[in-house]
Structure 1
Amino acid sequence: MSSDDFWELSNLVARYAELLNLGQIEALGALFEHGRISSSNIADVHVGPAAVTEMYRRSVVFPEKVPDTLLFTSNLQFRIDGDEASGKACFMAVHQAEAGVVPVLAGRYHDEFRKIDGRWWFHHRHMLPDLVGDLSTHLHEPLEGV
């Protein structure tokens, strides 16, 4: 494992959060050119950029002023083996509400990555929401099974 691989994976995870925060879901979807995303509370698996983009378009409320919700990722752990890697991280989303900034969702990511033509990509991101607050102004529909 090189330190370059660690930093490239860290930047990929951070870029995902940045793009979601800014509502740039087409660019976020492009991070899954060779991958898929799933969640412990949803049976569907979204494969490829178009499906990931559409999932976020259907589920997340993006108001005129973005960001109104910020996603933070922490506790990064990576295991790198050649051109494959796995990772774990924690996430928390905070939302601008009338009462101020409030946490609305926290959980974990379990990730698999692949290095293709010298670049790291998401191969599989599995989201595990653990703590759920008031998501009524953040998501179009409530999370199931949480």
Structure 2
Amino acid sequence: MSESTQAWVAAGVRAVIGAHTHAQDAGRTDDIVALYTPDGVLELPGTDPVQGHDALREAFKGWAPTQPQLHMVTNTIVGSAGPDEATASSDVLFFQRGEAGWAPLVAGHYEDTFRRVDGNWMFQRRVTTYQV
């Protein structure tokens, strides 16, 4: 794969990760779900995998913010299996704002798999782990 194709894949994947983060922190459930393939999967520690748009919508509705929050996604490394498939590994810090100000609550890691559908990069799978 050429360097320009790799850069194009990386830019597309990073844009989807950023869109997910902003939509999640704003509580825009439908915008989050639209970033997943119809059979997309979200895996979180201690829970069964959440698969498909209906299940993802219900899950993210339940996690809608009740106070200001920020997911800070960083150290993203994008890998590509081809022009229509990619992976990414990222670190994430989750903050909430309370009466005393912003506080970090969770540090974690994302392992993402993406597929390009109709020209758009979409999450096929997101596996989240938490560091303690």
TM range (shorter): 0.7 to 0.9
Count of residue pairs the alignment pairs up:
126
Structure 1's consecutive aligned runs of 4 or more residues displaced over 3 angstroms after TM superposition are: none
* TM-score, normalised relative to structure 2: 0.87
In structure 2, stretches of 5+ residues that fail to align are none
Query: What amino acid maps onto 2:80 in structure 1?
Result: I
Are the aligned partners of 2:71 and 2:92 in contact in 1 as well (CA < 8 Å)? yes
Distance (Å, rounded) in 2 between the aligned partners of 1:25 and 1:4 = 27
Give the Cα separation in 2 of the matches to 1:8 and 1:117.
13
- Return the alpha-carbon distance in structure 1 between the equivalents of residues 64 and 54 of structure 2: 18
Q: Which has the higher helix share?
A: 2
- Partner of residue 71, structure 2: 71
Within 2, Cα distance between the matches of 1:29 and 1:121? 10
Corresponding residue for 2:120? 119
Q: In structure 2, what is the equivalent of residue 40 of structure 1? A: 45
What's the % identity of the aligned pairs?
24
Contact 1:105 1:129 in 2 (8 A): yes
Residue number in structure 2 paired with 1:9: 13
* Cα RMSD for the two superposed structures: 1.5
Q: Take 1:72 and 1:13, find their aligned partners in 2: how far apart are those partners?
A: 11
Aligned mate of 1:23, from 27, 34, 50: 27
Matched with 1:49 is: 53
Secondary structure in structure 2 of the residue aligned to 1:41:
coil
CA distance in 2, matches of 1:32, 1:49: 7
Which residue does 1:101 correspond to in 2? 102
For residue 61 of structure 1, report the CA deviation from its aligned partner: 4.8
Shift in Å at residue 41 of structure 1?
2.4
SS of residue matched to 2:37: coil
Shift of 1:62: 2.5
- The one-letter amino acid of 1:21's match is D
The question of whether the paired residues in 2 share the 8 Å contact of 1:32 and 1:47 is answered with: no
